[in-house]
Amino acid sequence: MKRITYSGGSIVTSNAITTALLGYITSLADTDNSVTVDVTVLEENDETCMHTLVLSPASQFDVCDVEGMTEEEEVARFPVPAMPMIGITGTVESTGDAGRTAEDFNRITSEIDNGLGQ
């Protein structure tokens, strides 16, 4: 278990969730984006509930170990959340229109490039 301390307080969650959050924040640091992520948190009454964290390039966490559960208990009680995609994402078009879409894209970017010099 880990205690994550941040500007608004602290939460206790699993080692796996903490590792995922720290890795994600490191990737987020090179962007101008803020995202929300729902994570399972251990409350003082030993119950778990979902907390929504706002993560941004300015996020700063202090992490320390907390005793309490075995690794098996953590895995069962604290599912690692899906992290939102960072940056620009693309898709590959697999329909018959893919060639026409590529031609349209190339034509439009060419028009933009030609228009920039005027």
**CB within 8 Å of 1: residues ≥ 6 apart:** 12, 13, 14, 15, 42, 65, 66, 67, 68, 69, 74
Q: For residue 116, name the pLDDT band (cuts at 50, 70, 90).
A: low
Domain boundaries, the chain: 2-77
Query: Closest Cα to residue 5, out of 78, 68, 63?
Result: 63
Give me the chain's average pLDDT, please: 85
Better-scored residue on pLDDT, 44 or 32: 44
Predicted confidence at residue 43, as pLDDT, reads: 94
Strand intervals (E) in 8-47: 9-13, 35-42
**Quick one: tokens of 78?**
């604290």
Predicted confidence at residue 1, as pLDDT, reads: 94
Q: pTM of the predicted model, to two decimals?
A: 0.68
